[in-house]
Chain A
Amino acid sequence: MIPTRFLIGGLVIIAAIAFMTFRSFQANATYYVTSDEMVQKVQAGQITPGKTVRLAGNIDKSSVKWDSSKLDLQFNASNKDVNVPVHYTGPLPDSFHMADSVVVEGTYNADGSVTANNLFVQCPSKYEAEIKQGN
């Protein structure tokens, strides 16, 4: 089978790769939380300002402010009556206005808001819609 020196060489390489994976994993691990969970984690000190978060929440429709001239979007992501203000700049995802819930990826700010770099719209009716009678 495989001679010892090859085995050792291979193991060293595997160890190095595993170490790299581990380090970059640690550096990039991000909490995926709902609004209420995020507030809890902030209070527990697990999420601190400047940290990256992935936040899932329902779109509080009354809070949506969209300025199409600046491509600037503000809204509250809510879950269990906890609101987190979200700020996003960029073209609005196509189904944002129809969507109920959203996932944002961004930075947690000291004022309790999240500045989103990415906005993913999750629309339960996206692929599987209810069929209406009559039409």
Chain B
Amino acid sequence: MADIGYLCIWLAIASAVFAIAANLLGVRRRYPELVASGEQAVVAAAGLTSLAAGFLVLLFLMQDYQVNYVAAHSSRAMPLLFRLSALWSGQEGSLLFWAWILSLYSLVVVYFNRNQHRAIMPYTLATLMTVLAFFLSLVALIENPFKMLDFVPQDGNGLNPLLQHWAMAIHPPMLYIGFVGTTVPFAFAMGALAANRTGSEWVQLARRWALLVWTFLTIGIMLGGAWAYMELGWGGYWGWDPVENASFLPWLAGTAFVHSIIVQERRGMLKIWNFILVGLFFGLAIFGTFLTRSGVVSSVHSFAQSPLGPYFVGFITFIMLVFLGLLIMRWEELRSPNKLESPVSRETAFLMNNLVLLAIIFAVFWGTIFPMISEIVVGDKITVGPPYFNQITIPLFGALLVLMGIAPMTSWGRATLSKLVRNLALPFIASGVITLVLFLLGLHGPALIAYAIILFVLAVHVDEFYSGSRVYHAATGANWPKSLVATVRRNRRRYGGYIVHLGILVIAIGVVASNVFQLERQATLKKGETMTVGDFSVQYQDMQGLAFPDRDVTVALVRASQNGRDLGLLMPSQDLYRATNQPQTEVAIRRSPTEDLYIVLGGWEAKGDTATFKVFVNPLVSWVWGGGLVVVLGILVAAWPDGRRRTSTVRIPEAVPAK
């Protein structure tokens, strides 16, 4: 069966290569039949890639340990979920998984556009298939997941216990769906450039895809943070590790892109800029894959060293050169007739947003790759740690939030400063008063500044929702909740976007609190002894040993209370996996909306007569996850397909009155 799987990969490559040739030849020489056949080849490539991935999954389910990859990433004791997620837990399988997702994306693109966008589509498909052929070739030639061993092992090695966690089972696919998905808007951009249809057509096509991809990236990054928080036991969720940065960079580029295409839609400006951003979006996603797959940058999460690096560099260079070449060819036609008219207009605010996002991308990118560059250039490996990333990005994120507050109050085109000041006055005063209260309550320093900004942005958004609803309320007499819902429904793009903003604000509130006000303490306790951290008391009661099929677990029973109120029993533990003899610390977390109590069992003496704990109190961490959910909700509101009418053809007047 492994042989058939391997054969499928080669057949898929052949289909992809045929699809590239047929689409390009067909469109250049005007043979519609050839284009149609190229389209079918895309379907065939998707089918064959799915078959190959399906065979690998089947081999995991059948526990065929003669297949090297199966033996290396699964074992008999593993539950079904992890046997399935083992597909993407190693180098070879995750590359095949990457290709598989891309082939499915291509299928969806063919399905939705088979009767439309005839000029752009052949080039779009050719781009998609080029990327697919590249990844499949890596799988076929360098990282073959179907490689057989010349003996049959009794059992496999199993999955690294660190990765045996529900968040880790779904984090990679989410991130991959995001990473891989960036290829689609990029392919539409390539299609638009190659077909010389550089107007709003591709932007319409790319927008919804970009939002979808951005959402998956958001979910993937969130899950990665959640996993780190629950499994790694250092009390945090983000450490500016190269692999984390690799997922963050395309997210930032995508954020810039989904904002700046609005300027093109509304004002016909920034056309060239949008092409550059979509190129950056895709390029950084490929770069991220390269970082995680090649082992060029040392990271806690790094995969094994591999020979993939040069191929990735070659591929990124090739595809970006083609893209830039096409862009330069179309440069003159892309110049915009419209000009920025006012420094306080909406388009200026969007431009500033792009500028700041780009600065963050640049700073994070630079900090991530510098060790590599310095080693090549001067021979010394020089790194920068989290302090660098924090120092540079925190003020920039602050600026971004300020813009998020100002932008909704600006108007397009000829805006005036006095009107902007009038619009901002009320939110500014309202948030200023609350900030003063916070100050009097004892909040000060950087946290106060951060919360002042967040409150200001929040007030602006509340004002936006309020003014919209007021118009509806006045016009129809409907009650307030009804008016609010109706307002959002009449302009889902706008208010969906604002809901995303609110989600970001909730995340920001959580991030600031959990970083500034985190408490940590470490103590060795005898049975019955208690330690206190902040409002919490933690009493060590007992230690017990448990035997599971695949691991031995040592559990500390800890009674926690807050201000004398009993919170029940918490059970931090250390697991020892028998197959690999690897220990795995399991953190105990007592979550609440206001703070998490986070207990790590560090060690024990004399069979548990004394045990050492590291205890963190992490304020408002739940807000980070909650904010992520709000972001997803906002996207759903903004991008959910409209059943009755096409939103792109019906322009609904803005529901906000001239102030």
Contact = CB atoms under 8 A, between A and B. Distances in A.
Interface of A: 1-3, 5-6, 9-10, 13-14, 17, 20-21, 24-25, 27-33, 52, 54, 56, 66, 68-71, 89-92, 94-95, 97-98, 103, 105, 120, 122, 124, 126-129, 131-135
Nearest to B68: A131
A70 B611 CA distance: 10
A28 B153 contact: no
8 contacts: A2-B340, A14-B359, A17-B359, A17-B396, A21-B362, A28-B388, A122-B302, A129-B72
Interface residues of B, number: 65
List the 4 closest A-B pairs by CB distance, nearest first.
A68-B603, A28-B388, A32-B381, A91-B602
Given A31-B382, A71-B612, A124-B304, 8 more contacts: A5-B343, A20-B392, A27-B387, A91-B602, A92-B603, A94-B584, A128-B72, A128-B90
Given A3-B340, A17-B359, A68-B612, A28 B600 contact: no
Contacts of A129: 72, 157, 580
Contacts of A133: 151, 153
B266 to A, nearest CB: 17
A90 B610 contact: no
B200 interface: no
B384 A28 contact: yes
B370 to A, nearest CB: 8
Contact of A6 (B72, B343, B383, B584): B343
Nearest to A68: B603
A66 B604 CA distance: 11
B544 interface: no
B581 A98 contact: yes
B524 interface: yes
A21 B366 contact: yes
Contacts of A120: 300
Contacts of B194: none
B162 A128 contact: no
Contacts of A13: 352, 355
A5 B348 CA distance: 12
Contacts of A1: 335-336, 339
A85 B513 CA distance: 36
Given A29-B384, A98-B581, A129-B157, A68 B602 contact: yes
A114 to B, nearest CB: 14
A135 B392 contact: no
B491 interface: no
Contacts of B395: 20
Contacts of A134: 153-154
Interface in B601-635: 602-605, 610, 612, 614
Nearest to A95: B582
Contacts of A68: 602-605, 612
A91 B585 contact: yes
Given A21-B392, A69-B610, A127 B382 contact: no
B94 to A, nearest CB: 11
Interface string B279-305: 000000000000000000010101110
Contacts of A71: 522, 602-603, 612, 614
Interface string B67-86: 01001100000000000000
A10 B89 CA distance: 44
B155 interface: yes
A27 B384 CA distance: 9
B583 A97 contact: yes
B333 interface: no
B371 interface: yes
Contacts of A90: 522, 602, 614
A30 B385 contact: yes
Contacts of B614: 71, 90-91
Contacts of A5: 343
Contacts of B72: 128-129, 131
A29 B392 CA distance: 13
Contacts of B503: none
A30 B71 contact: no
A30 B602 contact: no
B612 A32 contact: no
Nearest to A41: B380
Nearest to A123: B582
Contacts of B602: 68, 71, 90-92
A126 B160 contact: yes
